[in-house]
Amino acid sequence: MGKRNKQFVEKITAMEEDFAQWYTDVVKQANLVDYGPVRGTMIIKPDGFAIWERIRDELDRQIKATGHSNVSFPLFIPESLLQKEKDHVEGFAPEVAWVTHGGENELSERLVVRPTSEALFCEYYSKNIHSYRDLPMLYNQWSNVVRWEKTTRPFLRSLEFLWQEGHTAHATYEEAAEETAKMLNVYTDVLENYLAIPVLRGRKTEKEKFAGADYTLTIESLMHDGKALQSGTSHHFGSGFAQAFDITYLDENGESQFVHQTSWGVTTRLLGALIMVHGDNRGLVLPPKIAPTQAIIIPIAQHKEGVLDKAYSLRDQVKNLVRIEMDASDKSPGWKFNECEMKGIPVRIEMGPKDIEKNQVVLVRRDTGEKEFVALQDLESRLPILMEEIQENLFKRALLHREQKTAIATNMDEFKQILAENPGFIKAMWCGDIHCEEKIKEETQATSRCIPFEQEKIADTCICCGNEAKEMVYWAKAY
């Protein structure tokens, strides 16, 4: 393993020193990702993909449990189809990849490599929805999409990424609104209860909403450096796409009506969130519910008689309770400790000759570093509870961090001071005018993250123009 393992002994950059470099070090050294040959593309390696598979499986379960069916739509969109909805094409056309040749011939019409699939689903719905009895149509797909981004970072912003995109059609505006909210709730549950990432929930401003949407709901999380990450969005399209694509149905009275649509998605960027919310200067820290490996056994003095046998029987004892691995390689225990810390495995189980004598093991938590001696006979009851404790602690810690990095600003000086001294979410009142939003961004680089469902009245006037305030908004610098 020569070259590969040398990386583990080289220390990673401390996050306080250079957060961006720390992030890059972690994704590389935890073996999550590598760069593809085309600029901005990524290779998700086994350890990274196993995490994505666990996120995907839980989310897929919830998507199906809420009545949706998986489908597979094509990769290519004819240029003319993308152009049907005006706002949508304006939002996406500048950042797509174009296929111009197939085999040895130039195509008569250029094809877009899907940046998102609204156009394809709408075309399908226009042909396949006829009557109110066909509604709702609740589709989802797991796919790859391409957006020609200028600056890229693994997971956070890449030329190609993996995601799920739900696309639904409903009889009424209200039903579509209910769907939009329901899927935001599913995302909230997966983030908070599986990834242990607390989220702010709310509506995007007109400026920040999805190209072609009536409104966009969002969940926003806070990274360790005080920057926000948009972590999942759910869009209500009203009947805008239906009008552009002529998607109508006959209602119970035989009258033609436009459908109302939604779309919603989360992406591999969630792996970036996991790293930047829970990670530390020794590497990744994974919440037990999403960790492909929840515990790893590291035998101490494994060359001594009986140690390995005992370690294997320990593994067999608990393998149905937790996802467990064993590192019986010939590397030193210290090396193995560093490796499993870098990978973020929630619990390391040490077992040496002395422990065997005492009929015990040592449990070491990845999140706190705490050691705990546990009698072998208590391990089966202790391990699952310990997993819950770690899961809970990670969520609480992230929530506390967010609270410590959430501040109120009532004027622009305060706003700028917060960003300079303790960046994070800033709560501030806003008049609703896009010019103020743009001015704030220009002066501070912070953008509106969401208009939270839970409103507070902090002041009467807009922080920017001083006119009457309409809403409280969460602002932050964001990825």
> Per CB under 8 A, does 103 bind a second copy?
yes
Q: Which amino acid is at 418?
A: I
> How big is the CA angle at 96 (ends 168 and 221), to the nearest 5 degrees?
60
Q: Of residues 19, 28, 62, 73, which one binds a second copy by CB under 8 A?
A: 73
Q: How many residues bind a second copy (CB under 8 A)?
A: 61
Q: Of residues 66, 75, 83, 382, which one binds a second copy by CB under 8 A?
A: 75
User: How many of the other CB atoms lie within 10 Å of CB of 435?
Assistant: 10
Output the DSSP codes for 306-324.
THHHHHHHHHHHHTTTS-E
Q: What is the DSSP letter of 194?
A: I
Burial class (CB in 10 A: 0-12, 13-18, 19+), 441: middle
Q: Of residues 22, 52, 155, 425, which one binds a second copy by CB under 8 A?
A: 52
Tell me whether residue 4 or residue 303 sits nearer to a second copy (CB atom). Answer: 4
> Per CB under 8 A, does 313 bind a second copy?
no
Q: In sequence order, what are the beta bridge partners of 33?
A: 44
b (16+ CB within 10 A) / e for 192-213: bebbbbbbbbbbbbeebbbbbb
> Per CB under 8 A, does 90 bind a second copy?
no
Q: Of residues 13, 28, 66, 78, which one binds a second copy by CB under 8 A?
A: 78
Tell me whether residue 136 or residue 352 sits nearer to a second copy (CB atom). Answer: 136
| Tokens coding 259 | 């459908």
Q: Map residues 223-262 to x or -, x wherever contact with a second copy holds by CB under 8 A.
A: ---------------------------x------------
The length of the chain is 479
CA distance 216 to 30: 34
Taking the complex as a whole, how short is the minimal distance between the CB of residue 194 and a second copy, in angstroms? 19
Stretch that binds a second copy, among 155-163, 259-267, 339-347, 469-477 (CB under 8 A): 155-163
Taking the complex as a whole, how short is the minimal distance between the CB of residue 132 and a second copy, in angstroms? 10
Q: Of residues 9, 10, 65, 104, which one binds a second copy by CB under 8 A?
A: 104
Burial class (CB in 10 A: 0-12, 13-18, 19+), 391: buried
CA distance 347 to 350: 10
Q: Of residues 7, 20, 67, 70, which one binds a second copy by CB under 8 A?
A: 70
Tell me whether residue 6 or residue 457 sits nearer to a second copy (CB atom). Answer: 6
Tell me whether residue 78 or residue 432 sits nearer to a second copy (CB atom). Answer: 78
Q: Which residues contact 136 (CB under 8 A, 6 or more apart)?
A: 168, 169, 170, 171, 175, 179
Q: Which residues contact 186 (CB under 8 A, 6 or more apart)?
A: 59, 62, 63, 66
CA distance 44 to 154: 9
Q: Of residues 7, 21, 144, 377, which one binds a second copy by CB under 8 A?
A: 144
CA distance 349 to 296: 6
> Per CB under 8 A, does 3 bind a second copy?
yes
Q: Of residues 19, 24, 50, 479, which one binds a second copy by CB under 8 A?
A: 50
Tell me whether residue 242 or residue 349 sits nearer to a second copy (CB atom). Answer: 242
For 137, phi then psi, to 5°, come to -110, 120
> Per CB under 8 A, does 37 bind a second copy?
yes
SS3 371: strand
Stretch that binds a second copy, among 102-110, 356-364, 376-384, 423-431 (CB under 8 A): 102-110
CA distance 460 to 467: 8
Taking the complex as a whole, how short is the minimal distance between the CB of residue 49 and a second copy, in angstroms? 5
Stretch that binds a second copy, among 132-140, 230-238, 276-284, 353-361 (CB under 8 A): 132-140
> Per CB under 8 A, does 151 bind a second copy?
no
> Per CB under 8 A, does 351 bind a second copy?
no
Q: What is the DSSP letter of 116?
A: S
Chain contacts with a second copy (rule: CB under 8 A): 1-4, 34, 36-38, 41-46, 49-50, 52-53, 69-78, 81, 94-104, 111, 113, 120, 123-124, 127-128, 130-131, 133-134, 139, 143-144, 146, 148, 150, 159-160, 162, 250
